[in-house]
Structure 1
Amino acid sequence: MSLSSRPDSVLPAVRSTPAPRRLLALGVLTALLATGCAQAAGAPAEEPTATAPAPRSAPAATVPPGPEQPATNAPAEVTVTPADAAVEHNPVDPVVVRAERGELTDVVLVPAAGGEPVPGELSADGSTWTSTGVLDFDTRYAVHWSASSGAETPATGTSSFTTVLAANEVDARLNVVEGGVYGTGQVLQFTFSEPVVHKDRVEEAVGVSGGGAGAGAFRWYSDTVVRYRPAEKWEPHSRITVSLDLLGLDVGHGMVGNHDLDRSFTIGAEHYARVDNKTKTLTAWVDGEVAGRYPVTLGNEDWPSTTGQKVIMEQAPTYLFKASSLDLQPGDPHWYETFWASNVSRLTASGEFVHQALPSAMPVLGVANVSHGCIGMSPEGAKFIHDVFRPGDVVEVVGTGYPQADPDDGYGDWNIPLEHYADEQWQGNW
């Protein structure tokens, strides 16, 4: 991050020392006494006598300094925060130089290895300078200052400190892209580079607006992964804005966020598909209207398809399927030859897809289940789902007799009731 130059400003000039007026006043008084001019108002002056001088009176009390006399001539006292040689300074925390006595005449905060000075502001009374720019991470900085007081020579000083090291930085990723278009069931997932201890701080730092849905909830799947879903699915044809104020946030164990995150995306038309094992049919809706019905084949008895609402994770016109991805080897009764599937939509991380069925499965579409858990479709059916549906749309499977997909095996978050969503210990039908 490049830091802007320190704005040109004129620091308060050193105030000149007022003239010692009281010394002049005492001198006049002495002269008057010597000429016999001290008298009460209206009384005549007495003639001087030849007698011996009167006894001396006790010394007069010290005359306090006048209002314009400096209180002290001691050097200025200056403190710098963070202290000299400090480490792991949070880059968003300001650097403060304060004159406890005297006035600051110059302050420069600059990377020790060279670079542009960090901007700052001086208080009206000249006693405090505060940096106004965000510092770089993993960087050593030097603070140079000078200050004046009643002393003849201005005071000067230098200190240094180091910001949060790279090993203690935290960054985050979000599973939507700027300007993307997603389905109404899109779940927001934040993935952190380091474990989060202060989870409540992270949740408070997240802002979600738009979409028409009521306030949602967070669910932590691990110390580095948290998801957010609204109370109901996003409103079709709406715009969502997501922010994460992570920069400078202490997430625990001295780990500090090194950037903020802001994304805006839109929700497209409402797409929903329901796959019924009883009829072996996929019915597709677009904005509430039935857009098509297609025969399917589901997982066989040994590889049954999971049930519940599943969110499309990604799509591709072709995708390479290998039996080895299921730990199957040649000779295994479930082994199959490697092939390129067409019009693929992923439903789970473990490998459930909607795709065009192999030629050998075409005769049993709508009749029997012969897949390894995927939803096999006719060419036109698979193409419809690939071309019309998008990531974030929901495909729900019912009637296979098998539990729901684990919510972290993809985005099965809609299978969790909202009142239980934040409860990491809650177990549903999976």
Structure 2
Amino acid sequence: MRLPSHHRDPLPGTPPEPARPAGASARRRRPGIACLALAGLLGLSACAGGNDATPAAPSSADAAPSSPAPTKSFGTVRVEVSPAADTSMVNPVDPVVVTADGGELTDVTVSAAGSGERVEGELAQDGHEWRSKAPLAFDETYTVDYTARSGDRDSTGQSVFSTVDAAHEADVALNVKDGQTYGVWQVVEFNFSEPVVNKDEVEKAVTVDGAHRDGAFRWYSDRKLRFRPEQPWDPNAKVTVTANILGKDLGNGMIGNGNKTVSFSTGAEQRAFVDNNTKTLVAYVNGKETGRWPVTLGNPDWPSTTGKKVIIEQAASYAFKASSLNLKPGDPHYYPPFDASNVSRLTWSGEFIHQALPSAMPVLGVANVSHGCVGMPPEGAAYIFETFRPGDMVEVVNTDYPQADPDDGYGDWNIPFEHYSDEDWHGNW
């Protein structure tokens, strides 16, 4: 059976598609605290103190760090703080830098107003610069307190700024899980919580190492990016995928709020060919035929799509309901709800390999009576379920029906590699 294109229920135990995290909703930003400038006989000023503060524009990881405000000199010591006092929307990857000219810093602390945590940093041996070591938190207000010395006199100062708020955070989720094993035709998908405008910069932030020699990206929407190798992954190998988007400007003021790294393995080369002319499924493992079974495909009103399809997910049992196809009792195509056995999903819209119903057993290898699925005898469906895995290939031919849309599952292998990155290229779907 084929479910409507909008129906994307996962099999039992399969996590739903990534949703925007709860923290991504806008929260009221904490008020900033005015920079204080305390001057003794020595004379010391916080960068951008008082009414001379010049707010810095929001920055990205690839842009120059937040500019300090003009420095004032009262005596021989000048102190600068970056980000400048009262600056908002500071990119958390921009370092906090405190510098002293004409004297030395003796103490610098940077603390978060919300969590109370102190930012780790390092003071140069000559005492002229303090620099933070790690990225800051998002949607946080930070207070910089410092002490500077000239001769035997100490003076103190304070400066406050805030980082990118929750409404401008963006994260990414992958469709592969760390430590899992997939078939050699597995496509890697990146789902962003916010639309991406700076697509080239995001692609540069993604690395895929191991089990392939060449690969390419394809955007299916402003939030969905996929990567596939030119040829299938090497069998029995390891692939590491990294999306370094922390601090990346995705566009529209959205900043990546964290990096993601996933390592998965590939299994044996496993594929199945389904031919409507002979109504058979032939399975291959590492190029060797391992099984051949009669099948039934989609009937003339619900034909099976053609082309290369990758197994998305599997379940020992899965509930099928005609209502998912908008079929009601009395419709000639209606069927009572039933639980299909040994199910391997091929498209989100509802094509599966599964054990055929008892009523279909007599026509296996003879006629097509399904709603788009590949119905198999019990031993054949069990073999595919137990031997094959997500990422393995199932190719259907000779149904005289177009391919499924490439993002209705993982039909990326129906796109010639030289056209893969061209979002406007359209095949037989």
Normalising by the residue count of structure 2, what TM-score does the alignment of the two structures yield? 0.81
2: distance between equivalents of 1:336 and 1:361?
Answer: 13
* Structure 1 residues 421 and 159: CA distance shift in structure 2, 3 A: same
1:101 Cα deviation from its structure 2 partner: 3.4
2: distance between equivalents of 1:155 and 1:78?
Answer: 11
Query: Hey, what does 1:129 align to over in structure 2?
Result: 130
2: distance between equivalents of 1:133 and 1:415?
Answer: 44
Query: Hey, what does 1:415 align to over in structure 2?
Result: 414
The one-letter code sitting in structure 1 at the alignment partner of 2:202 is V
Specify the SS of the correspondent of 2:111.
strand
Specify the SS of the correspondent of 1:154.
strand
Query: Hey, what does 1:221 align to over in structure 2?
Result: 220
Specify the SS of the correspondent of 1:80.
strand
1: distance between equivalents of 2:219 and 2:340?
Answer: 34
Question: Does 2:141 match 1:167?
Answer: no
Unaligned runs of 5+ in 2: 1-41, 43-72
2: distance between equivalents of 1:114 and 1:75?
Answer: 36
Unaligned runs of 5+ in 1: 1-15, 17-71
Query: Hey, what does 2:275 align to over in structure 1?
Result: 276
1:75 Cα deviation from its structure 2 partner: 5.1
Specify the SS of the correspondent of 2:88.
strand
Deviation string 1:245-275 (CA, Å, 9 cap, x unpaired) is 1211111112111111111111111110000
Q: Which moved more, 1:391-400 or 1:161-170?
A: 161-170
Matches within 5 A, 1:73-88: 74=75, 76-88=77-89
1: distance between equivalents of 2:141 and 2:305?
Answer: 55
Query: Hey, what does 1:257 align to over in structure 2?
Result: 256
Contact 1:74 1:149 in 2 (8 A): no
1: distance between equivalents of 2:395 and 2:114?
Answer: 59
Matches within 5 A, 1:330-409: 330-409=329-408
Greater C-alpha radius of gyration: 1
1: distance between equivalents of 2:376 and 2:113?
Answer: 65
The one-letter code sitting in structure 2 at the alignment partner of 1:265 is F
Specify the SS of the correspondent of 1:259.
coil
1:115 Cα deviation from its structure 2 partner: 2.5
Contact 1:297 1:369 in 2 (8 A): yes
2: distance between equivalents of 1:346 and 1:137?
Answer: 39
1: distance between equivalents of 2:228 and 2:114?
Answer: 46
Contact 1:75 1:154 in 2 (8 A): no
Deviation string 1:89-138 (CA, Å, 9 cap, x unpaired) is 11111001112332222111111245332121223332211111221111
Specify the SS of the correspondent of 1:298.
coil
Normalising by the residue count of structure 1, what TM-score does the alignment of the two structures yield? 0.81
Matches within 5 A, 1:134-283: 134-149=135-150, 153-211=153-211, 213-283=212-282
Query: Hey, what does 1:315 align to over in structure 2?
Result: 314
* Structure 1 residues 100 and 278: CA distance shift in structure 2, 3 A: same
Contact 1:76 1:154 in 2 (8 A): no
Q: Which moved more, 1:364-373 or 1:132-141?
A: 132-141
Q: Which moved more, 1:420-429 or 1:126-135?
A: 126-135
2: distance between equivalents of 1:298 and 1:175?
Answer: 29
Provide runs of 4+ in structure 1 moved above 4 Å. none
2: distance between equivalents of 1:167 and 1:93?
Answer: 19
Question: Percent same amino acid among aligned pairs?
Answer: 61
Specify the SS of the correspondent of 2:281.
strand
Specify the SS of the correspondent of 1:419.
helix
2: distance between equivalents of 1:74 and 1:154?
Answer: 13
Query: Hey, what does 1:7 align to over in structure 2?
Result: none
The one-letter code sitting in structure 1 at the alignment partner of 2:103 is G
1: distance between equivalents of 2:366 and 2:75?
Answer: 98
Question: Does 2:295 match 1:286?
Answer: no
RMSD: 1.5
Q: Which moved more, 1:164-173 or 1:372-381?
A: 164-173
1: distance between equivalents of 2:231 and 2:213?
Answer: 7
The one-letter code sitting in structure 1 at the alignment partner of 2:96 is V
The one-letter code sitting in structure 2 at the alignment partner of 1:290 is E
2: distance between equivalents of 1:84 and 1:329?
Answer: 66
The one-letter code sitting in structure 1 at the alignment partner of 2:80 is T
